Amino acid sequence: MAVLVLAWMIYGGMRQVLELNDPYVGPAMRNEAGLWYVILSYVSIGAGILLPLIGGRDGRARRKSGKNSASL
């Protein structure tokens, strides 16, 4: 499941980066929404890629150790 979410986030992130770096749309977005919009866009892309990776790693470690998630 994490692979599907990761693929979807990479696709969406690539589209967002292309739009932010477009020579016509990018400056207009920066002027109207401000620099914080650009910064938060990159932060959200990074979090969207990083969090499924962390979740997948933790799930794999939990399965290997034999701990049941119902015991939490």
Per the domain annotation, does 68 fall within a domain? Answer: no
d(CA 22, CA 27): 8
Per the domain annotation, does 4 fall within a domain? Answer: no
Per the domain annotation, does 41 fall within a domain? Answer: yes
Q: What is the pTM of this model?
A: 0.72
- Enclosing domain of residue 14: 10-59
Per the domain annotation, does 45 fall within a domain? Answer: yes
Task: Supply the pLDDT for residue 68.
Answer: 61
Per the domain annotation, does 22 fall within a domain? Answer: yes
Helix axes 2-20, 25-33, angle to 10 degrees: 90
- Give tens-digit pLDDT for 17-46: 999 999 999 899 999 999 999 999 999 999
Number of domains in the chain: 1
Rg of the chain over Cα atoms, rounded to whole angstroms, equals: 17
